């Protein structure tokens, strides 16, 4: 099963393949902030370290929102993220 690790706390969770990161965080009170939950506010921005294919590809709309809120390499919107393999979630400073 894929694992989600939060770099800020060191906590690691096993999740089902294809789990929506938003759903996981809401169900497990995980340490990640969300706002709109639909990919437009940028509150959930984070840096994802993952092997190729471990997360879904960013949509054009997600890339547009990311462009407005960060230039961090590996940045993603947590509310748009689906987990297919091991990932580490870091703050997007
Ligand atoms: S919660 Fe608003 S963009 Fe993800």
Q: Which of 43, 48, 69, 76 to mutate for ligand 1's pocket (most ligand atoms within 8 Å of CB)? A: 43
How far does the centroid of ligand 1 lie from the alpha carbon of residue 11, in Å?
A: 22
> What angle (nearest 5°) sits at the alpha carbon of residue 78, between those of residues 46 and 4?
85
As to burial, measured by CB atoms within 10 angstroms (0-12 exposed, 13-18 middle, 19+ buried), residue 17 is exposed
Domains along the sequence of the chain with CATH: 3-91 (3.10.20.30)
- Model confidence pLDDT, tens digit, residues 44-66: 999 999 998 999 999 999 999 99
Indicate which atom in ligand 1 lies nearest the CA of residue 78: 4
Tell me the per-residue pLDDT of 9-36, one tens digit each, with 9 for 90 and over. Answer: 999 999 999 999 999 999 998 989 999 9
> Confidence band (pLDDT; 50, 70, 90) for 39?
very high
Q: What SS3 state is found at 64?
A: helix
């Amino acid at each position: 099963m894929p694992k989600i690790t939060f770099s800020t706390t060191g906590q690691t969770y096993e999740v089902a393949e294809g789990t929506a990161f938003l759903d996981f965080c809401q169900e497990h009170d995980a340490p990640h902030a969300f706002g709109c939950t639909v990919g437009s506010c940028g509150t959930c921005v984070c840096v994802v370290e993952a092997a190729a294919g471990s997360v879904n590809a960013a949509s054009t709309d997600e890339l547009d929102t990311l462009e407005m809120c960060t230039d961090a390499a590996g940045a993603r919107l947590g509310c748009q993220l689906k987990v297919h393999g091991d990932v580490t979630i870091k703050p997007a400073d």
